[in-house]
Amino acid sequence: MQANGSVGRLMQALRCLPGVGPKSAQRMAYYLLLRNRDGARVLAESLLAAVDRVGYCERCRSLSETALCAVCASPSRDQSQLCVVEMPTDVYAIDQAGCYRGVFFVLNGRLSPLDGIGPVELGLDRLEQRLAGGEIKEVVLATNTTVEGEATAHYLGEMAQRHHIRTTRIAYGVPMGGELEFVDGATLSLAFNGRREF
Amino acid sequence: MQANGSVGRLMQALRCLPGVGPKSAQRMAYYLLLRNRDGARVLAESLLAAVDRVGYCERCRSLSETALCAVCASPSRDQSQLCVVEMPTDVYAIDQAGCYRGVFFVLNGRLSPLDGIGPVELGLDRLEQRLAGGEIKEVVLATNTTVEGEATAHYLGEMAQRHHIRTTRIAYGVPMGGELEFVDGATLSLAFNGRREF
């Protein structure tokens, strides 16, 4: 009965959210309608505002409400260091860590031929132009250390080296606070092979 | 960087959904903005439509887009049997089971004094009026078999009996397909105490 009409359409629409199946969507719809209609209105307005206002930074492809994002527009950033990441969230995480003062290039994905995501979808033509511009002195590859992230880093590394730009990859190893017992074998091998003088 | 502005406000707004914390909200916001802006627009419109159009059935307090919900308005329903449930989802579940042809009264909650939910919040004044009307011949108590649901059923049972109306409670026992080994002790006791001739 209740699954038709506006309630049913709301349940269906909620399923567009990642990780939300039919049961969660039902729970969310009833919760909003029975307990938090103000929250539902605010959510609807935030969705529309974000979809309308948030575009992509024309230089780094991160999400931005202005033509240039805050990082690209900042005069205190080192424009000769370019860190390539998969997602806008990675920019935020690296920035929070405070370890890097260069600029970014955001792929908004990773090479994944099976899903139809190739160099064009990741904006690599624009990255190539930027590498050809001569301003970049170092490319830091900070894609995820997954199979697809590694393949993407490999592809980007070859691209940067064609332009004779120094290319680095973030270090592999044991994470801080990690107990060796619980670290997987692949990571341990990389940590041993990458060992440094103490 | 990215957590300010419209994106940040969207993340904050998504946290009004039950079960969504900061990490899920971030994932949802980026997913919608990077991969599914049409879905975000549809979700926003569905939220507004549901909040604007869906009210409460004036007879049973279930969610409804019309003054009377489909169940209350149906001429084929037995108006002398009244099943009291906690949530509109329960109406849907019982209807799907096809075991009941009477009408419903939806509490939209359960008695919970610590949360400030008393008889008024559950619309029990309206239920009392309906019981006093003389049309109801049986009240089926179908609140949840939780502590609060049981307390609510007890309260409702006393109310119905003041009006000399037959009052029943849905049966406790072992669920279909349940293996006894995995059924909790309280349920097993109830199943033994409620045993019937075979």
Query: Model confidence over A42-52: pLDDT tens digits?
Result: 999 999 999 99
Q: What is the dihedral of CA B37, B41, B46, B51, to 10 degrees?
A: 120
B62: Cα separation from own chain's centroid: 8
pLDDT of residue A89: 86
CA separation, residue A11 to residues A53, A133, A161, B91 (Å): 26, 49, 50, 16
Q: CB A13 to CB B47 under 8 A? A: yes
Which residues of chain A lie closer than 8 angstroms to B34, CB-CB? 63, 87-88, 108-109
CATH code, domain carrying B35: 1.10.8.420
Of the given ranges (A55-59, A181-185, B30-34, B157-161), which has the lowest mean pLDDT? A181-185
Identity of the residue in A14, A31, A63 whose CB atom sits nearest the CB atom of B33: A63
Predicted confidence band at B1 (pLDDT cuts at 50, 70, 90)? Answer: very low
Assigned domain for B185 exists: no
Identity of the residue in B14, B62, B92 whose CB atom sits nearest the CB atom of A3: B92
Name the pTM for this structure: 0.77
In terms of domains, do A28 and A78 share one? no
In terms of domains, do B38 and B81 share one? no
In terms of domains, do B144 and B99 share one? yes
Per the structure, the count of domains in chain B is 2
* SS3 assignment, position A122: coil
Assigned domain for B150 exists: yes
CATH code, domain carrying B151: 3.40.1360.10
* SS3 assignment, position B37: helix
In terms of domains, do B99 and B48 share one? no
In terms of domains, do A106 and A25 share one? no
With 0-12 / 13-18 / 19 or more C-beta atoms within 10 angstroms meaning exposed / middle / buried, residue B145 is middle
Q: Which segment, A131-135, B40-44, B180-184, B193-197, is predicted with the most confidence on average?
A: B40-44
**Rounded Cα gap, residues B21 and B15, in angstroms:** 6
pLDDT at A191 over 70: yes
Which residues of chain B lie closer than 8 angstroms to A62, CB-CB? 1-2
**In Å, how far is B111's CA from the nearest CA of chain A?**
15
Residue A154 CB: number of other CB atoms within 10 A? 14
Residue A105 CB contacts under 8 Å (≥ 6 apart), including other chains: A60, A61, A82, A83, A84, A85, A123, A127, A130
Which residues of chain A lie closer than 8 angstroms to B41, CB-CB? 47-48, 51
- What letter would DSSP give residue B114? G
In terms of domains, do A22 and A82 share one? no
Mean pLDDT of A170-191: 83
**Rounded Cα gap, residues A119 and A127, in angstroms:** 10
In terms of domains, do B123 and B48 share one? no
In terms of domains, do A93 and A149 share one? yes
Summarize pLDDT for A117-161 with one digit per residue, the tens: 999 999 999 999 999 999 999 999 999 988 999 999 999 999 999
- Per cent of chain B over pLDDT 70 is 98
Residue A11 CB: number of other CB atoms within 10 A? 23
**In Å, how far is A196's CA from the nearest CA of chain B?**
34
What ipTM was assigned to the predicted interfaces of this complex?
A: 0.78
**In Å, how far is B87's CA from the nearest CA of chain A?**
9
pLDDT at A63 over 50: yes
Nearest C-alpha neighbor of A137 from the set A168, A92, A95? A168
pLDDT at B2 over 70: no
In terms of domains, do A112 and A159 share one? yes
Mean pLDDT of B86-110: 90
Q: Is the dihedral of CA A42, A48, A51, A52 positive or negative?
A: negative
Assigned domain for B181 exists: no
**Rounded Cα gap, residues B37 and A50, in angstroms:** 9
- Per cent of chain A over pLDDT 90 is 71
In terms of domains, do A100 and A35 share one? no
Q: CB B10 to CB A88 under 8 A? A: no
User: Which amino acid is it at A13?
Assistant: A
Nearest C-alpha neighbor of A33 from the set B77, B30, B57? B57
CA separation, residue B146 to residues A24, B112, B124, B173, B189 (Å): 21, 12, 20, 14, 16
pLDDT at B32 over 90: yes
Q: How many helices (H) and strands (E) does chain B have?
A: 8, 6
Residue B177 CB: number of other CB atoms within 10 A? 5
Q: Do the Cβ atoms of B139 and B146 come closer than 8 Å?
A: no
pLDDT at B50 over 80: yes
Assigned domain for B98 exists: yes
HSE-up of A153 (CA within 13 Å, CB side)?
A: 18
pLDDT of residue A1: 40
Best residue in A12, A24, A43 to probe B by mutation, most B CBs within 10 Å?
A43
pLDDT of residue A3: 59
Q: Do the Cβ atoms of B104 and B62 come closer than 8 Å?
A: yes
Assigned domain for A180 exists: no
Q: CB A46 to CB B10 under 8 A? A: yes
Predicted confidence band at B189 (pLDDT cuts at 50, 70, 90)? Answer: confident
Summarize pLDDT for B139-188 with one digit per residue, the tens: 999 999 889 999 999 999 999 999 999 999 998 888 888 788 888 888 88
Assigned domain for A60 exists: no
Residue A98: domain span: 74-169
Assigned domain for A66 exists: no
Q: Which residues pair with B81 in a beta bridge?
A: B138
pLDDT of residue A126: 93
Identity of the residue in B41, B50, B108 whose CB atom sits nearest the CB atom of A7: B50
Assigned domain for B122 exists: yes
In terms of domains, do B103 and B162 share one? yes
**Rounded Cα gap, residues B158 and B135, in angstroms:** 18
Predicted confidence band at B98 (pLDDT cuts at 50, 70, 90)? Answer: confident
What is the pairing mode between strands A55-56 and A63-64? antiparallel
Q: What are phi and psi of B122, to 5 degrees?
A: -90, 5
In terms of domains, do B137 and B101 share one? yes
- In the block, residue with structure tokens 């605010």: A42
What is the pairing mode between strands B55-56 and B63-64? antiparallel
Q: Which is more confidently placed, B51 or B2?
A: B51
